[in-house]
Amino acid sequence: MSIRLLHGVHVPHRKNTAECVPTRMPPPAVVTIPMSMNIGKPATPVVKPGDEVKVGQRIGEAGGFVSSPVYSGVSGKVKKIDKMLLFHGAVCDAVVIETDGAQTPYDALQAPEVTDFDSFINAVRDSGVVGLGGAGFPTSVKLKVDPEKVDFICVNGAECEPYITADTRTMLDDSEMLVDGVELLHNYYPKAKVIIGIENNKPACVKKLKELLAGKSYAEVNALPALYPQGGEKVLIHNTTGRIVPEGKLPIDVGCIVINTSTLVSMTRYIRTGMPLVEKYVTVDGSAIKNPQNVIVPIGTAIKDVVAFTGGYRCEPKKIVLGGPMMGVSVPDDSEVVVKNTGAILCFDEKDAVLPEPSACIRCGRCIDACPLNLMPTEIEHAFNAGDAERLGKLKVNLCMECGCCAFACPAHRRLVECNKLSKTMLNKYNAQQKAEAERKAAVAAEKAAAAEKEKEAIAR
């Protein structure tokens, strides 16, 4: 089957840390573990100040169906339960733990009993695993679908963002666990073909996984061209299976599940050993970092503690990004903490931090050529500036996955992703208004009809 690959942009790879085996950092003096590290409801703390906690102990209970439990990655004493302002503006509870440095494992840790599909889903839920590629969607919710409906499970090892090599190291250093996870998936989704998609700039990963999966007909390793955003959910599905996720639908609607390699490894680790998600492989890199490297970080560790462990800053950082430079979030300072879906800490010096000022659009069409989903960012910007929400709907701005290809490619440095985000808000507001208007009109019409009916009856009488 030949699939016409989607468009994208050639971003600089900068995988400086690809050869760097992650080192486990000692626990910092204090960790602050937010209860909201996933899409959906935050977890509820189940410990109180003064409690002793150990590594792997549950400190937060899932707060609903679309939620995920939280575990401690350190041993020590709960100092307080604090309110915490997350960088995207929401406020949630956070458990602050003073560590004792002993890293004593929790006594009750044991591998869960997984016998059937339901117990498998429960185990995934208990593992505390959410989409570690960045989305943070609870994995158990994603996996809780009719196995009959799943034709493909795409294991996302594309790691298309520059700098990040955390998944690369996962694929190389935890490859047995990964293959074990692929087998688990095969057991519970016997109809599905498991495709591991890896960008071909990681030949070592492709080779190793191909060797380990040789002879397993249900799984295949797909070496994809190194063209950003190969690891975008819709892009990966299209480029590995040829299927297209329609507007407003989920991958499962076209028979696909996408799961990140680190996510798969973390949930498999819990099912095999009972150790839930308490630490992360994090790539620390960027022009302001003295010694770029991969670090195994307990969740809840502050950025500054991680950077200090790696050897500190090379110069004063002017921008800190959690995640990759294409889709990552820039945070206000280095006291932010590493959460479940943090894959990288990138610190940039002044030169890299300040982006060029936007100038006039020269209508070159590079944004259109770059968009993997064939959107027209320049036309979207035009419609947005004109306040034309109807046209935004026609231009399908809601399909935009904010991968950043358009803004990356734009020679006029226009803030196209920003504009797309604002456009979505404008369109959704407009759609809501339209709906309310239509409902109001329908109600008025119904009232009139009823009145007319009454009148008729009155006349007839």
Partner 1 sequence: MSTMTTGVSPHIRSERSTQRIMLDVIIALCPALIASVILYGFRALLLTCVSVAACVLLEFVWEKAMKKPVTIGDLSAIVTGMLLAFNVPVGMPIWEMLIGDIAAIILVKMLFGGLGCNFMNPALVGRIVLMFSFTTDMTTYAAPKVANAITSGVDAVSTATPLTMMDQIGWSNFPQLLLGAHGGVLGEVCAAAIIVGGVYLILRKVIKPIIPLCYLGSLLLFSWLFGGAQPVLSLFAGGVMLGAFFMATDYVTSPFTNKGKVIFGVGCGLITAAIRVFGNYAEGVTFAILLMNILVPYINDLTMTKPLGGDASK
Q: Which stretch binds partner 1 (CB under 8 A): 32-40, 170-178, 205-213, 325-333?
A: 325-333
**In 9-145, alpha helices (H):** 117-126, 139-143
Closest distance to partner 1 from the beta carbon of 154 (Å):
16
Closest distance to partner 1 from the beta carbon of 55 (Å):
30
String of contacts with partner 1 for each residue 432-451, x by CB under 8 A = --------------------
Instruction: Report helix, strand or coil for 95.
Output: strand
Tell me which of 44, 368, 428, 430 binds partner 1, using CB under 8 A.
Answer: 368
Q: Is 348 in the site for partner 1 (CB under 8 A)?
A: yes
Residues 67 and 140 sit within 8 Å (Cβ to Cβ): no
Q: Which stretch binds partner 1 (CB under 8 A): 40-48, 70-78, 111-119, 347-355?
A: 347-355
Residue for token pair 């696909």:
256
Q: Is 89 in the site for partner 1 (CB under 8 A)?
A: no
Q: Which stretch binds partner 1 (CB under 8 A): 54-62, 65-73, 103-111, 314-322?
A: 314-322
Q: Which stretch binds partner 1 (CB under 8 A): 68-76, 118-126, 331-339, 450-458?
A: 331-339
The nearer residue to partner 1, 207 or 351, going by C-beta atoms, is 351
Other Cβ atoms less than 10 A from the Cβ of 403: the count is 25
Other Cβ atoms less than 10 A from the Cβ of 354: the count is 11
Q: Which residues contact 54 (CB under 8 A, 6 or more apart)?
A: 72, 75, 104, 105, 106, 107
**CA-to-CA distance for 352 and 90, rounded, in angstroms?**
28
Q: Is 308 in the site for partner 1 (CB under 8 A)?
A: no
**CA-to-CA distance for 322 and 279, rounded, in angstroms?**
16
The helices-and-strands tally (H runs, E runs) of the chain is 14, 17
Kind plus residue range of the DSSP H or E element containing 295: strand 293-298
In the numeric block, which tokens belong to residue 12? Answer: 């600089």
Closest distance to partner 1 from the beta carbon of 11 (Å):
7
Tell me which of 1, 2, 12, 88 binds partner 1, using CB under 8 A.
Answer: 12
The nearer residue to partner 1, 37 or 371, going by C-beta atoms, is 371
Closest distance to partner 1 from the beta carbon of 427 (Å):
12
Q: Is 86 in the site for partner 1 (CB under 8 A)?
A: no
Residues 400-419 interacting with partner 1 (rule: CB under 8 A): 402, 404, 407-413, 415, 417-418
Closest distance to partner 1 from the beta carbon of 376 (Å):
6
Contacts with partner 1: how many residues (CB under 8 A)? 68
Closest distance to partner 1 from the beta carbon of 89 (Å):
12
Q: Is 325 in the site for partner 1 (CB under 8 A)?
A: yes
Q: Is 257 in the site for partner 1 (CB under 8 A)?
A: no
Tell me which of 116, 146, 247, 457 binds partner 1, using CB under 8 A.
Answer: 247
Q: Smallest Cα–Cα separation from 29: which of 82, 98, 94?
A: 98
Per-position DSSP letters for 55-88, written without gaps between them: BT-EEEE--SSS---EE-SS-EEEEEEEEEE-TT
Closest distance to partner 1 from the beta carbon of 252 (Å):
14
Residues 273 and 5 sit within 8 Å (Cβ to Cβ): no
Q: How far is CA 59 from CA 48, 126, 279, in A?
A: 9, 12, 14
**CA-to-CA distance for 126 and 231, rounded, in angstroms?**
26
Q: Is 365 in the site for partner 1 (CB under 8 A)?
A: yes
Q: Which residues contact 211 (CB under 8 A, 6 or more apart)?
A: none
Q: Name the site residues for partner 1 (rule: CB under 8 A).
A: 6, 9, 11-12, 162, 234, 238, 244-247, 249, 317-321, 325-334, 346, 348, 352-356, 359-366, 368, 371-376, 378-379, 393, 395-396, 399, 402, 404, 407-413, 415, 417-418, 421
